Amino acid sequence: MNAARIAPLRKLVLLGTGLIGGSFALALKRARLVDEVVGVGRNQANLDRAIELKVIDQACLDAAQAVQGAGLVMLGTPVGQMGRLMQQIAPHLPEDCLITDGGSTKQDVVALYREHLSAHLPRCVPGHPIAGSDLSGASAAQYGLYEGRRVVLTALPENTRESIARVRALWEACGAVVHEMSAEEHDGVFACVSHVPHLLAFSYMNAVLDRRNAERCLDFAATGFRDFTRIAGSHPEMWRDITLANREAILRDLHANRARLEELIALVEHADADALTAYIDRASKARSKWGKR
Amino acid sequence: MNAARIAPLRKLVLLGTGLIGGSFALALKRARLVDEVVGVGRNQANLDRAIELKVIDQACLDAAQAVQGAGLVMLGTPVGQMGRLMQQIAPHLPEDCLITDGGSTKQDVVALYREHLSAHLPRCVPGHPIAGSDLSGASAAQYGLYEGRRVVLTALPENTRESIARVRALWEACGAVVHEMSAEEHDGVFACVSHVPHLLAFSYMNAVLDRRNAERCLDFAATGFRDFTRIAGSHPEMWRDITLANREAILRDLHANRARLEELIALVEHADADALTAYIDRASKARSKWGKR
């Protein structure tokens, strides 16, 4: 997409001025696709920092006031805060204003759009940039974060083609590769390759800690352990929220994982060498193939 | 340990001339602690390569012949080949020759020593250098592989103090940090922090592959998935052998992991936010603490 052919936004409003929204604003500024960025947040120090870093041009503590005259609102907060913010802005949103978000679960965000912004659904285009980080806050915002990264849009049936095309074009101007899928497919895919691995890593760490000689075990843990458990160090509240938000898809995958684990236990109990080799071989081949992509 | 104070070996015999044994020989050569290294293997090309790389001074296809006049025999093959080799060398081992190994499971290797080298037990000191790699063969042997790495010795009650001290001193001359524990404790610790994570990673990959949209899922897998599944790409036959060799300890840990997974599934099913936070928090805190070691 040629950035020169996209009409610039007069005013972008970030609800939440952290890694996701801040990096989006920086990328659009660099592409000269936004005239003014207004950041809304609850933490004055973070807003001050965002102005200092030129992530935003103006700070505002009141979301309703901030969205006046906005061309695009980006919800970049944790999903748990989005409902309240949608409620606050609903009566004040300009009629032609686009709305998108960076939430890592989508069916629940779609439900929030339907609940709080029902009059604006043609212009609410849910999104998920696949660019997580352990960092957060305005200081974490960076140019180029989305360069070559994937962004999933889970468009609503109510969306106008123009709304989808415009949100897509803005992400592409940030360097992102945009994919579209349904919110249901999105939540299934990310339960499988992101949410469930996190939960399995938490579960494994708890099993290690249950051992009487846990400290001794951790003393001898090496590189395999380090990589396998890296995601077990993730933020508890964030992962509780993701887990509850995407509960159904996650439960389906957790049950499938339990069945596979039970099969494995049976193979080891029966010392079934051939079946064990086949079991490991299937996993190993697939992982090696994935690594060569 | 001051290398200058260790009496050099006149002849070191490597049964298996790959990463583990080869790197051991290179380190001892650099420390001027060995006069002659003889490598035994089944693959002439690998033996030629070992000579070319000066990992060994002489190659030999016959283990029985090779050990004549040896001061130390290092078993550096997969554990599955060790019994046969012990049987072959037993009648030919010099009376004062030390024997050690680099097997990644220890109770099974101890049983092999007892079965095949019962007359030599005072000088059989089982070991496990914690320095794995995806690489193998003589080309993988490298100077400094053991620098700062841990080596576990699981000494036998029959071992003389001199045998243990000498094997320990040679490893320390390679730059390794030597720990002693029982073979049973060793196998429990490594089931916990190495073997079971591998098996859980295989199990998870199989659950992913079972999905109807597995390819789509793998398309969107990112850095969390990459690290969590890295060990799932490991060698099937090697991991089948380790799993069967350390079956009891692994089963205990697999059962504990299944119980923890079932607890997690119940928390998600009941959407028990507080208990879920506590579950994740315990794992996350422990992993973060481990990462700061």
Q: Do A132 and B200 touch (CB under 8 A)?
A: no
In one-letter notation, the amino acid at residue A153 is L
Q: Do B283 and A255 touch (CB under 8 A)?
A: no
Helix/strand number for chain B, H first, E second: 13, 9
> Whose CA is closest to B82, among B98, B107, B67, B103?
B103
Strand arrangement, sheet containing B150-153: B127-129, B150-153, B177-180
Rounded to an integer, the average pLDDT of B127-144 is: 81
Q: Do A157 and B176 contact (CB within 8 A), yes or no?
A: no
pLDDT exceeds cutoff 50 at A3: no
Supply the Cα-derived Rg of chain B in whole angstroms. Answer: 22
Give B221 to chain A, closest Cα distance, Å: 5
pLDDT at residue A190, rounded to an integer:
97
**Phi and psi at residue B17, in whole multiples of 5°?**
-120, 65
SS3 A104: coil
Domain boundaries, chain B: 3-181, 185-291
Chain A residues closer than 8 Å to B230 by CB = 224, 227-228, 287
Task: Tell me how far apart the alpha carbons of residues B28 and B26 are, in angstroms, rounded to a whole number.
Answer: 6
- Between A199, A257, A281, which is nearest B207 by CB? A257
ipTM of the complex: 0.90
- Nearest residue of chain A to residue B189 (CA atoms): A217
pLDDT at residue A156, rounded to an integer:
98
Q: Do B139 and B53 contact (CB within 8 A), yes or no?
A: yes
Distance between the two ends of chain A, CA-based, in angstroms?
A: 25
Chain A residues closer than 8 Å to B292 by CB = none
Chain A residues closer than 8 Å to B150 by CB = 220
pLDDT exceeds cutoff 70 at B3: no
Residue B215 class from Cβ within 10 Å (0-12 exposed, 13-18 middle, 19+ buried)? Answer: exposed
Rounded to an integer, the average pLDDT of B64-82 is: 95
- Nearest residue of chain B to residue A206 (CA atoms): B283
- Nearest residue of chain A to residue B253 (CA atoms): A207
What are the residues whose beta carbons fall under 8 Å from the beta carbon of A188, sequence distance 6 or more? A249, A252, B213, B217
What is the homologous superfamily of the domain B3-181 according to CATH?
NAD(P)-binding Rossmann-like Domain (3.40.50.720)
Cα A277 to Cα A21, A289, B134, B186, distances in angstroms: 47, 18, 18, 24
Task: Tell me how far apart the alpha carbons of residues B197 and A252 are, in angstroms, rounded to a whole number.
Answer: 22
Q: Do B257 and A207 touch (CB under 8 A)?
A: yes
DSSP A105-168: --HHHHHHHHHH-GGGGGGEE-EEE----S--SGGG--TTTTTT-EEEE---TT--HHHHHHHH
Q: Do B227 and A230 touch (CB under 8 A)?
A: yes
- Nearest residue of chain A to residue B282 (CA atoms): A206
- Nearest residue of chain A to residue B245 (CA atoms): A271
Distance between the two ends of chain B, CA-based, in angstroms?
A: 25
Q: Do B230 and A228 touch (CB under 8 A)?
A: yes
Chain B residues closer than 8 Å to A283 by CB = 201-203, 205-206, 209, 232
Q: Do B193 and A250 touch (CB under 8 A)?
A: no
Q: Do B279 and A224 touch (CB under 8 A)?
A: no
Taking the CB of residue A118, how many other CB atoms lie within 10 A of it? 11
pLDDT band at B1, cuts 50/70/90?
Answer: very low
A50-62 pLDDT per residue, tens? 999 999 999 999 9
- Between B220, B237, B255, which is nearest A193 by CB? B220
Q: Do B230 and A229 contact (CB within 8 A), yes or no?
A: no
Q: What percent of chain A has pLDDT over 70?
A: 97
B169-182 pLDDT per residue, tens? 999 999 999 999 99
Q: What percent of chain B has pLDDT over 90?
A: 89
Chain B residues closer than 8 Å to A135 by CB = none
Strands (E), chain A: 9-15, 34-40, 58-60, 72-75, 98-101, 124-125, 127-129, 150-153, 177-180
pLDDT band at B39, cuts 50/70/90?
Answer: very high
- Nearest residue of chain A to residue B238 (CA atoms): A277
- Nearest residue of chain A to residue B232 (CA atoms): A284
Q: A244-247 long-range CB contacts below 8 Å, 24 or more apart?
A: A244/B268, A244/B271, A244/B273, A244/B276, A245/A79, A245/A105, A245/A108, A246/A105, A246/A107, A246/A108, A246/A187, A246/A190, A246/A191, A246/A195, A247/B268, A247/B271
Q: Which two tokens stand for residue A243?
A: 């887990």
Rounded to the nearest integer, the mean pLDDT of chain B is 95
In one-letter notation, the amino acid at residue A161 is R
Q: Do A176 and B204 contact (CB within 8 A), yes or no?
A: no
Supply the Cα-derived Rg of chain A in whole angstroms. Answer: 22
Q: Do A256 and B211 touch (CB under 8 A)?
A: yes
Chain A residues closer than 8 Å to B177 by CB = none
Chain A residues closer than 8 Å to B240 by CB = 273, 276-277, 280
Give A67 to chain B, closest Cα distance, Å: 33
Q: Across the strands, what pairs with B151? A: B129, B178
What are the residues whose beta carbons fall under 8 Å from the beta carbon of B254, sequence distance 6 or more? A261, A264, A265, A268, B196, B199
- Nearest residue of chain A to residue B204 (CA atoms): A257
Q: Do B265 and A255 touch (CB under 8 A)?
A: yes
Q: Do B207 and A236 touch (CB under 8 A)?
A: no
pLDDT exceeds cutoff 90 at B266: yes
Query: b/e for B264-286, b at 16 or more Cβ within 10 A?
Result: bbebbeeeeeeebbebbbbbbeb
Query: What is the DSSP code (8-state) at residue B130?
Result: -
Task: Tell me how far apart the alpha carbons of residues A147 and B237 are, in angstroms, rounded to a whole number.
Answer: 40
Q: Do A254 and B261 touch (CB under 8 A)?
A: yes
Task: Tell me how far apart the alpha carbons of residues A237 and B110 are, in angstroms, rounded to a whole number.
Answer: 47
pLDDT band at A134, cuts 50/70/90?
Answer: low
What are the residues whose beta carbons fall under 8 Å from the beta carbon of A206, sequence distance 6 or more? B260, B279, B282, B283
pLDDT exceeds cutoff 50 at A173: yes
What are the residues whose beta carbons fall under 8 Å from the beta carbon of A151, sequence distance 6 or more? A127, A128, A129, A130, A171, A176, A177, A178, A179
Q: Which two tokens stand for residue B40?
A: 């035994």
Q: Do B196 and B158 contact (CB within 8 A), yes or no?
A: no
B207-252 pLDDT per residue, tens? 999 999 999 999 999 999 999 999 999 999 889 999 999 999 999 9
SS3 B120: helix
SS3 A8: coil
Q: Do A206 and B283 touch (CB under 8 A)?
A: yes
Cα dihedral A198→A204→A210→A213 (10° resolution): -130
Chain A residues closer than 8 Å to B213 by CB = 185, 188-189
The architecture in CATH of the region A185-291 reads Orthogonal Bundle (1.10)
Task: Tell me how far apart the alpha carbons of residues B263 and B269 are, in angstroms, rounded to a whole number.
Answer: 10
Q: Which two tokens stand for residue B215?
A: 């390819």
Q: Do A98 and A67 contact (CB within 8 A), yes or no?
A: no
- Between B244, B288, B290, which is nearest A271 by CB? B244
CB contacts < 8 Å between A and B, how many?
277
